[in-house]
Amino acid sequence: MRIPDLSVFEHASVSVEREAGPNVLSEDEADRLDLLTESKPGLCTRGYRNVKFAQYCGIASLGDRAIEILPKVGEVGGYAESRDVLLRLLRASQDSSSQRLAAVGQGLGSAPLMEVFIKVFFDEIAALMKGGLLRRYRELEEDCLAVRGSILLRRQLTTLANRPDRIACRFDDLTADNRWNRLIKAGLSAVRPWLRSYNLQRTWVELMSAFDEVSDAADAHALLASLQYDRQGGRYRPAIGWVERILNFLAPNLRAGRKHAPGLLFDMNRLFESVVTERMRSLGWKHQLSVEAQNDSKPLAHLCGSPGRAEFRLRPDVLFTDRGSPVAIADAKWKRPKLDRDGVLVPAEADVYQIHAYSAAWKCQHLALVYPWDEQLQEARPTLFNLPANGDRRPQLAVLCLDIGRDDLPLRLGSGFWAER
């Protein structure tokens, strides 16, 4: 009996036993996660008879099954709502592969991420096949019933001397059996054990039938490593990219180093930062301000005795400037802020210290910490804090939330400079 795939929320702990169970990792599966953590530092930490996950979300292969790690923000609505949160953020990111994944996932409703991953792969192959499989000429030597190409006289006069019904020939054959199609077939073969739904199984049969004349790749990972694109093979690049993700994820060469990291794990801190940055760009346009991401022009300190040596670079997520002069700073935080009994959002002290350092370095009056919104913050009200003055200006810190429960990802609780007009 097959043990079902595992779903957990980020930062959750999962028990480790000798044998796997519906909500339990086996020791072999935990060892596999340890290897993946070498490729994705921070994925999880191994404790005594448990594994604790960190800020990565997505799916990871455990060998015979997969583990799905979902955002903790959105957990109130269960796994389905949490998947929607992840897909919504991926769609708003600037990575085209992530956007494609999100678009397909949202079209599949509450399907597990594994099905979404495979469906995107199948769609890419189907798009490739609309232009026909790439065929190349290959030199063959066969004993034919009629002359094809040139006759191999030596073989004809020796081996086939007593076979007048056969002609030894050398000829060029136009075939789909080439490295490009072998890699596509290898990807299809790798996903076969992971097909759970009838629709995916049916699609797999339809796609695989187009590769009947294509031989199996002896070593798909080695073939990928040596692959060089030419003019004809260029149109295979998107599909081969998904083949690489499939092979590294479902059939990884775990001993091959960091290059073979699993292909569907997302650092939620960075993903949320990228989405907030894009939302802030639209706010900057409304104020006719320029927006810079991850500006690191200001150091926190200079080494004594070496004034030219700057240390501890400050790097706010978003810097608003007007003709080069700093105006406002926003920093994204992938965590749930504390809500007190008066409806005030109270950020973590470390977050306030950090953005205050940014304010002092860039002499900005408008500051914002941006957190993800969820249903537990319904009673929150717009929150502003006065920070210690910088010269003749007293900066104000706004606590904002990005509503990740809506497709348009609006900013909530903004007022003054931070109000969306």
Taking the CB of residue 240, how many other CB atoms lie within 10 A of it? 20
Please give the tally of structural domains in the chain.
4
Burial of 378 (0-12, 13-18, 19+ CB in 10 A): exposed
pLDDT score of 254 more than 50: no
Q: Is residue 95 part of a domain?
A: no
Same domain, 253 and 311: no
- Tens-place pLDDT, residues 374-405: 888 888 888 899 988 776 778 999 999 999 88
Same domain, 231 and 361: no
Where residue 48 falls among pLDDT bands split at 50, 70, 90? very high
Same domain, 394 and 363: yes
Q: What mean pLDDT is reported for the chain?
A: 86
Query: Residue 142: which domain range?
Result: 136-175
Q: Is residue 97 part of a domain?
A: no
Compute and round to an integer the Cα radius of gyration of the chain.
28
Q: How do 396-403 and 366-373 pair as beta strands? A: parallel
**Coil, helix or strand at residue 385:** strand
Q: Is residue 226 part of a domain?
A: yes
- Tens-place pLDDT, residues 271-296: 999 999 988 988 888 888 999 888 77
Same domain, 239 and 279: no
Same domain, 213 and 284: no
pLDDT score of 419 more than 80: no
- Tens-place pLDDT, residues 174-186: 889 888 999 999 9
Same domain, 358 and 287: yes
Q: Is residue 118 part of a domain?
A: yes
Where residue 261 falls among pLDDT bands split at 50, 70, 90? very low
Q: Which residues are CB-contacts of 88 (< 8 A; sequence separation ≥ 6)?
A: 102, 106, 404, 407, 409
Closest of 385, 377, 384, 379 to residue 402, by C-alpha: 377
Same domain, 47 and 155: no
Q: Is residue 301 part of a domain?
A: yes
Same domain, 116 and 257: yes
pLDDT at 305: 64
pLDDT score of 256 more than 80: no
Q: Is residue 413 part of a domain?
A: yes
- Tens-place pLDDT, residues 307-355: 666 667 788 999 999 988 899 999 999 998 888 988 899 999 999 999 9
Same domain, 191 and 255: yes
What is the percent of the chain where pLDDT is above 90? 36
pLDDT score of 203 more than 90: yes
